[in-house]
């Protein structure tokens, strides 16, 4: 099967097109023919070996064997089922998250039937489904599991035009919160259309001096600091950063001190969030923002674009040609 691999940390050119044996599902696994996957900011960081402490997990000097094929999100079709796997049938259209095993930048991927995978609603394409998983489920983890956002609360989403951000604005609104967003002016209209009541253009405004008070400040892109956000946080408000080792330490400290808290963490088991995502998609209640589409052969270009830090929503990699034009 065709796949994209990297053997050393570095710029997008470390990615190479390779031929690998098609995997064979173990007893509890399903084999998925990947139709669409994505390039996320998180896996561009893995490719660069950043943050450096992350190499403790993915390989100190070079990426360890199990992470050399990137790809966190996928949508595809089940083509084989292990003898002890009963959740899915051959022909099912499925989408999900590969987690620490990555590996969706390939024509086929084996996953346990207990992994974060579920059937796709009939009304979305493979490209759309792949573009929802990590962004939505991360937004869910932070706004539902960590902050427990309630109707009437106020939420600020920093990076509101990114993958996590575009879903966080919509989810916050659906939870009944008043949502404000931070992005550049070129994305302000989009973020408003997703449900934000107010948008700060970070190129001309400083949201920390706005005089607003938020129950949750969700920094999806690591462009703020707890110390500065405290002035816009309610006395018992939550600061929710998706990145930054220091924030893990602050989370421990503020759990003890009380008052304004830092809550952070990765969501790896995504079953509840995936079920909610599936329902929202099937009811057409979620806008999926796809910025660009590339083929697998063009993945170096896709990484270059995502490395720029200014993608809007999601960047999709088409693995099986669905007849749509690739990059603009």
Ligand X SMILES: NC(=O)c1ccc[n+]([C@@H]2O[C@H](COP(=O)([O-])OP(=O)(O)OC[C@H]3O[C@@H](n4cnc5c(N)ncnc54)[C@H](OP(=O)(O)O)[C@@H]3O)[C@@H](O)[C@H]2O)c1
Residues at the site binding ligand X, with contacts judged by CB under 6 A = 40-42, 45, 134-135, 138, 158-159, 161-165, 182-184, 186-187, 202, 220-223, 242-243, 266-267, 309-312
Q: How far is 183 from 180, CA to CA, in rounded Å?
A: 10
Q: Residue 38 CB, nearest distance to ligand X (Å)?
A: 9
**104: Cβ contacts below 8 Å, ≥ 6 apart:** 34, 37, 69, 70, 71, 72, 73, 74, 98
Residue 75 vs 315, nearer CB to ligand X: 315
Q: Which of 158/281 has CB closer to ligand X?
A: 158
SS3 label, residue 319: coil
CB of 159 to ligand X, least distance (A): 4
Give the nearest residue (CB) to ligand X: 162
Nearest distance, CB of residue 187 and ligand X, angstroms? 4
**CA dihedral defined by 182, 187, 192, 195, rounded to 10 degrees?**
-70
* Nearest in space to 166 (alpha carbons), one of 313, 38, 276, 293: 313
**Smallest gap from residue 169 Cβ to ligand X (A):** 11
CB of 273 to ligand X, least distance (A): 11
Closer CB to ligand X, 118 or 242, in the complex: 242
| For ligand X, the closer CB: 38 or 125 | 38
End-to-end CA distance of the chain: 27
Q: How far is the CB of 236 from ligand X (least distance, A)?
A: 22
Tokens 């893990």 locate to 248
Q: In the complex with ligand X, which residue's Cβ is closer, 82 or 222?
A: 222
Q: Which is nearer to ligand X, 243 or 295 (CB)?
A: 243
- Please give the biggest Cα pair distance in the chain: 60
Q: Which residues of 205-243 are buried (b: 16+ CB within 10 A; e: fewer)?
A: eebbeeebebbbbbbbbeebbbeebeebbbeebbbbbbb
């Amino acid at each position: 099967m065709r796949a994209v691999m990297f053997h050393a940390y570095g710029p997008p050119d470390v990615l190479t097109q390779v031929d690998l044996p098609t995997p064979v599902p173990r007893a509890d696994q399903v084999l998925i023919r990947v139709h669409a996957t994505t390039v996320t900011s998180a896996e561009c960081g893995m490719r660069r070996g950043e943050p450096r402490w992350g190499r403790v997990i993915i390989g100190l000097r070079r990426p360890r064997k199990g992470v050399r094929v990137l790809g966190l999100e996928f949508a595809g079709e089940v083509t084989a089922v292990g003898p002890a796997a009963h959740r899915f049938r051959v022909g099912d259209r499925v989408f999900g998250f590969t987690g620490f095993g990555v590996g969706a930048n390939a024509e086929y991927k084996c996953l346990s039937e207990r992994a974060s995978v579920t059937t796709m609603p009939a009304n979305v394409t493979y490209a759309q489904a792949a573009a929802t998983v990590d962004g939505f489920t991360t937004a869910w983890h932070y706004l539902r599991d960590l902050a427990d956002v309630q109707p009437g609360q106020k939420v600020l989403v920093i990076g509101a035009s990114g993958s996590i951000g575009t879903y966080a604005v919509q989810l916050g609104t659906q939870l009944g919160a008043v949502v404000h967003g931070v992005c550049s002016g070129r994305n302000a209209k989009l973020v408003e259309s997703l449900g934000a009541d107010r948008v700060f253009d970070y190129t001309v405004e400083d949201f920390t001096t706005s005089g607003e008070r938020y129950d949750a400040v969700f920094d999806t892109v690591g462009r703020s600091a707890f110390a500065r956000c405290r002035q816009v946080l309610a006395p018992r408000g939550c600061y929710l950063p998706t990145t930054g080792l220091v924030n893990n330490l602050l989370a421990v400290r503020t759990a003890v001190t009380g008052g304004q808290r830092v809550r952070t963490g990765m969501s790896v088991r995504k079953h509840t969030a995936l079920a909610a995502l599936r329902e929202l998609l099937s009811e057409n209640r979620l806008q999926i923002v796809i910025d660009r589409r590339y083929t697998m052969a063009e993945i170096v270009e896709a990484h270059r674009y995502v490395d720029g830090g200014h993608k809007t929503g999601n960047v999709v990699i088409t693995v099986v040609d669905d007849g749509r034009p690739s990059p603009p």
